Amino acid sequence: MDLTDAIDVYFQYLRANKGLSEVTISNYAEDLLIFRRSFPEKQDTDDLSSNDIEDFAIEEGKRQHASATIARRISCLYNFYLFLDRRGITRIAAEKGDSPKLGEHLPTVLTYDEVERLLAMPDTSKESGARDKAMLEVMYSSGLRVSELCLLKTNAVSFENRLITIRQGKGNKQRTVPISDAALDYLRRYMDEFRSKNPGRKTSFVFLNLRGQPISRNYFFMQVRKYASEAGIAQTISPHTLRHCFATHLLERGAQIRIVQAMLGHTHLSTTQVYTHVSSERISSAYDDYMEE
């Protein structure tokens, strides 16, 4: 099918079945026009491939657009390709392999207010609370995986340079991520006031239980659930939710997707792109709420 015809059919579907406003339709039309200008060789739906979305994200990143704009354009292209796939016009979604599949369940992401409430729950006058507070702050500030957080070693943290160095995978690859001043302050307080007196203070692991052993993933999982309940957060979350929040909030505040990919330690950009979809949905929802007021 001619690509122009396919886009016209898509917009007819959106108007008839989604009830979208003409303003939203116009934004989508602009996004797809920019995609076509970026790849003028694509004149027919047979010219489309599962690599287009990643290629488009890279091109948009090079142009240094705001992350909200990039997120919306990528989301628009995702949804257009999903429509074509469901109509049997293409088989793009089926070709994507281990890339995030169109229409798959998106990760849970908290609002900024919910994150603040969660981070405020630990009682920092106690060793366990000070440690949990530092763990939450470090995870949200740096986007570490929960296993990386629980096994973080003291020599991996540079207070002077405000950096954390992580080694990952079989090849022992290394990535360095920044950490916020606030997270460093809570981490320093925990280490100076509590960890220095812990039975395991001579070990290399940063976060210790009261017996001096490294904190387990299961324990931290239960603590996050407990703090979420105390904070009045209705969604079911896990420590990994903070990693999702880290990535999505960075994109919403203007970070380029390649930078977020590097900080998360993702090998493939397509893995990171799911957060642009989340961010786009959140922006669209906020826009709709604003327009309804």
240 among known catalytic residues: yes
Token representation of residue 46 = 């047979």
* Residues making up the chain, counted from first to last: 293
Q: Which one of the listed residues 145, 162, 217, 225 is annotated catalytic? A: 145
Closest by CA to 96, choosing from 42, 139, 49, is 49
170 among known catalytic residues: yes
Q: Which one of the listed residues 186, 190, 227, 275 is annotated catalytic? A: 275
275 among known catalytic residues: yes
Closest by CA to 80, choosing from 31, 143, 152, is 31
Helices (H) and strands (E) in the chain, counts: 13, 3
Concatenate the DSSP letters of all residues of 135-201 into one string: HHHHHHHH---HHHHHT-BGGGEETTTTEEEEEETTTTEEEEEE--HHHHHHHHHHHHHTGGGSTTT
Token representation of residue 263 = 């900080």
First vs last C-alpha separation in the chain? 41
Q: Which one of the listed residues 153, 240, 258, 287 is annotated catalytic? A: 240
266 among known catalytic residues: yes
86 among known catalytic residues: no
Amino acid at 4: T
Q: Which one of the listed residues 219, 225, 266, 287 is annotated catalytic? A: 266
Distance CA 157, CA 155 (A): 5
Residue pair 244/107 in contact (Cβ under 8 Å)? The answer is: yes
Distances (CA, A) of 241 to 88, 143, 179, 282: 35, 10, 18, 16
Q: Coil, helix or strand for 52?
A: helix
Q: Which one of the listed residues 170, 197, 202, 211 is annotated catalytic? A: 170
Closest by CA to 54, choosing from 269, 254, 278, 279, is 269
Q: Which one of the listed residues 243, 244, 249, 282 is annotated catalytic? A: 243
Give the catalytic positions in this structure: 145, 170, 240, 243, 266, 275
